[in-house]
Amino acid sequence: MNKSDLVSMMEAKLKNLSRREVEMIIDTIFDQMTHALVTGDRIEIRGFGSFEVRVREPRKGRNPKTGSAVYVNTRKVPFFKVGKELKERVNETLGS
């Protein structure tokens, strides 16, 4: 599923809203989630999972093309941890 699929699904469920309004709502949600992560907040959506920013320490890496050693600086990366309910629902569908 991509963003336009999500907009289409929401538009079908929310018949009183136009596609443009649904897109604006979804964009606002994603913008607020991004802003929260940028400012160092953690996002927790019960039954779905949580998002946080983790710090990766500096390290020595390798250029895969040349094989030469390169230094990789400290960086922040977004991290998602799946919630228990979502994990169970995904595993239920695999067993069926």
Mean pLDDT for the chain overall: 94
pTM of this prediction? 0.79
Tell me the domain boundaries of the chain: 1-41, 45-96
Note the pLDDT of residue 95: 60
Give dist(CA 10, CA 22) in Å, integer: 7
- Looking up tokens 């239920």 gives 92
Topology annotation, domain 45-96: HU Protein; Chain A (4.10.520)
Both tokens of 56, joined, read 């990766």
Q: How confident is the model at residue 29 (pLDDT cuts 50, 70, 90)?
A: very high
Task: Answer yes or no: is pLDDT of 86 > 90.
Answer: yes
